Structure 1
Amino acid sequence: MKKGIIKALSFILMTTIILGGMASLPVKAEPSNYKFDFGAGSVEKGYIGVSASDKYNEKTRYGFNTPENMRNVAASGTGAASDAVQFVTYGTKSTNTFNVDLPNGLYEVKVTLGNTARAIIAAEGVYQIINMTGNSATDSFQIPITDGQLNILVTEGKVGTAFTLSALEINKLSHHPVTNRTIYIGGDSTVCNYYPLSGSVQAGWGQLLPQFVDTDAFQVRNMASGGQIARGFRNDGQLEALLKYIKPGDYFILQLGINDTNPKNNTTEAEFKEIMRDMVKQVKAKGATVVLSTPQGRATDFNSEGVHTSVNRWYRHSILALAQEENVPLVDLNVLSSAYFTSIGREATLALYMKGDTLHPNRAGATELARIVAEDLKKQGLNGFVEEKKEV
């Protein structure tokens, strides 16, 4: 009888040890970092090669959702940018996406385009990067993953051009699927990004604003685009993307009006003001801080006394009134930039604009405008801005 009990106890003990050992065996986890090289050419060292025909499957954890709508194409870059895939069907809500399984968390995604005139990056059904231009253009964005998968595609920035992707790098930043504090920017061609980001001749002040931001505290997401009007920013996807992610502690700096005043856009000043008001209210409802900015004038807005002034341009008075009515901070860049232009004179002001163009700043001009914006916001008590220009 005792022998039977001893055998039974021994069996239970052995089973417990075996099961305990199995429980401690490492489980194959989903990767949190990837480097993909797209196209049919050779694969760059350290990258995973992905052809247009590679369909997503649970074993590899990545692939195209509808590879029949993808195409391998050549590209004129080097390394991973020497070939690409083209998205034959596209759109922010398109299911023709490249899918990657990822543990939930916050990620940085770096995108390199192939040969593309102008393209938009969309993920999770909304815009992420607006109007990347030029072959092998590169940019990155933060994105929270909450459903275990990234769904990304390249979509239309300019009608009739190809939308291609050469490389993708994905790196996990945090286990928490919440973006870092963010300064979102809305605007037009005087505000938007130009590529390559680090060396473009033309630039918008939103592109250069990170030089005057404490990037340990904030990231900057420039959602501005050339030719934009208030109705377009609200209705065509940019505000939608912003509202998906913006949160308390974030800022939204909004500068529009230049193109709204153009008769072809059929926007009266009263309509402009109410569309802007609607955007202000929607963002404020998310708990974020809205900042309105007036656009700077033209390089040639000097009077006979050598004073730069453009106070009646670009629906400025309605922007000032709206800021007061909705109790939001205002950067009167129109007046602030005029004071700076007056101080440096006509010729030095012209040197801050694109050659033969009195409206669009060059890189030096965009830097000065970004400095003025940051300095004014710092004076108004908004944190996250620095006085000295820094490299980013």
Structure 2
Amino acid sequence: MKWSISVKLLLCFVLFASTMGIGLGSSGGQVAEAATDNYRFDFGSGAVESGYTGVSAGDAYTPTKGYGFNTPAQMRNVSASGSGVKSDAVQFLTYGTKSTNTFNVNLSNGLYEVKVVLGNTARASVAAEGVYQIINMTGNGATDQFQIPVTDGQLNLLVTEGKTGTAFTLSALEIRKLSNQTVTNRTIYIGGDSTVCNYYPLGSSVQGGWGQLFPSYVNNSTFQVRNMASSGQFARGFRDDGQMEAILKYIKPGDYFILQFGINDTNAKNNTTEAQFKEIMRDMVRLAKNKGATVILSTPQGRATDFNSSNVHQAENRWYNQSTRALAQEEGVTLVELNKLSSAYFTSIGPAATLALYMTGDSLHPNRQGAAELARIVAADLRRQGLNGF
């Protein structure tokens, strides 16, 4: 078949346009490229860091722009004490996991990694899609990240309660698409209290929770770790105040759920009998099992000072441990006897070395080194029991 010169030229242009990524409309004109799925936002009214898109508190979301605040009247520009993107921030004046005072970003459906940098705050949490994503980030300029599937073409995020009375601020946000799938990678979810939770900066904090150090003992090509533990938390609070809700939104077959409570449940102010504690824990075990996840119960370690006159560390009967052991057997789930295993380790190193693994003047909370040892013990026991990924 013979082609006219004009048709040949048109075909050459189409091939060139396709090669260069230029879209053609029905009239032959160039169409604007689709919005990117990778963003770096610098919040506040100060100078915008190179490589970032500046966003002020008054920047409202518009479909054309594809990002902005849903209710900018409820936002405020504030200063921050860091440098670069951490030198300024925006403050959320209304908040809550279900709040509509969100920062919205149009994204194609898929799995994303979201990195958040807070401004000045004592303690704040991050919520997106109506549930918690990160619990209790502490200190000015705290930084963390999480995976999230986007299924409706938009990410809706805000900074919310970690501690009543503090400012909930955001300095920077980075969004990176990982894949087109709309489910998280295999995940180890962790629920617990101040002996388990994250402390900031994550890579250099003096105090540590074993859940914070746990990723060092996990095969990260198989699992990501989502530590949803928080300081002062007890079983009822974890189940009823949003942390369990967040886990149940995403947990799936192939995921693990490690649950460790008891320390704060025995505190009189939390008004929880041992029988109530056991049934609340049972409820969470069954909720996660019904999602197809592998549930693991853990008993918390004892105090640094739980040595007898023979220098043997023993704390078996603390913190409703007997009920946790019984529940694991009744529900047919894996049990990590961190209480007994850590006691054996503490006995082997002696009272002075054990005390050095805890915060100064504190016999309950491990320091970073102590948290790493506890994380190592948990991972080793799970590997011994035949669970993969450690």
* TM-score normalized by the length of structure 2: 0.93
Letter in 1 for 2:253: P
Report the equivalent of 2:256. Answer: 251
Secondary structure (helix, strand or coil) at the match of 1:154 reads strand
Report the equivalent of 2:33. Answer: 28
Could you tell which deviates more after superposition, 22-31 or 44-53?
22-31
Report the equivalent of 1:97. Answer: 102
Report the equivalent of 1:390. Answer: none
1:18 positional shift: 12
C-alpha distance in 2, partners of 1:367/1:17?
63
The unaligned stretches of length 5 or more in structure 1 are 1-9, 386-392
Structure 2 residue 185 is the aligned partner of structure 1 residue 180: yes
C-alpha distance in 1, partners of 2:34/2:295?
41
Letter in 2 for 1:358: S
Letter in 1 for 2:249: K
Q: Which residues of 2 match residues 94-173 of structure 1 at below 5 A?
A: 94-173=99-178
Report the equivalent of 2:280. Answer: 275
The unaligned stretches of length 5 or more in structure 2 are 18-23
Q: 1:331 aligns with which of 324, 328, 336?
A: 336
1:30 positional shift: 2.0
Secondary structure (helix, strand or coil) at the match of 1:110 reads strand
1:177 positional shift: 1.1
Report the equivalent of 1:369. Answer: 374
Secondary structure (helix, strand or coil) at the match of 1:349 reads helix
Letter in 2 for 1:249: G
Letter in 2 for 1:164: T
Report the equivalent of 1:349. Answer: 354
Structure 2 residue 69 is the aligned partner of structure 1 residue 68: no
Letter in 1 for 2:98: K
Report the equivalent of 1:86. Answer: 91
Letter in 2 for 1:383: N
Letter in 2 for 1:363: R
C-alpha distance in 2, partners of 1:240/1:44?
36
1:214-270 CA-to-partner distances (Å, cap 9, x unmatched) read 001100000000011100000000000000000000000000000000111100000
Report the equivalent of 2:205. Answer: 200
1:26 positional shift: 6.3
1:374 positional shift: 0.2
1:250-304 CA-to-partner distances (Å, cap 9, x unmatched) read 0000000000001111000000000000000000000000000000000000011
1:210 positional shift: 0.4
Q: CA RMSD in A?
A: 1.8
Report the equivalent of 2:239. Answer: 234
1:170-218 CA-to-partner distances (Å, cap 9, x unmatched) read 0000011111100000000000000000000000000000010000110
1:28 positional shift: 1.4
Letter in 2 for 1:90: Y
C-alpha distance in 2, partners of 1:113/1:81?
8
Identity %: 74
Letter in 2 for 1:254: L
Could you tell which deviates more after superposition, 24-33 or 195-204?
24-33
1:60 positional shift: 1.2
Report the equivalent of 1:382. Answer: 387
1:19 positional shift: 12
Give the count of matched residue pairs.
375
* 4+ aligned runs moved over 3 Å, structure 1: 16-27
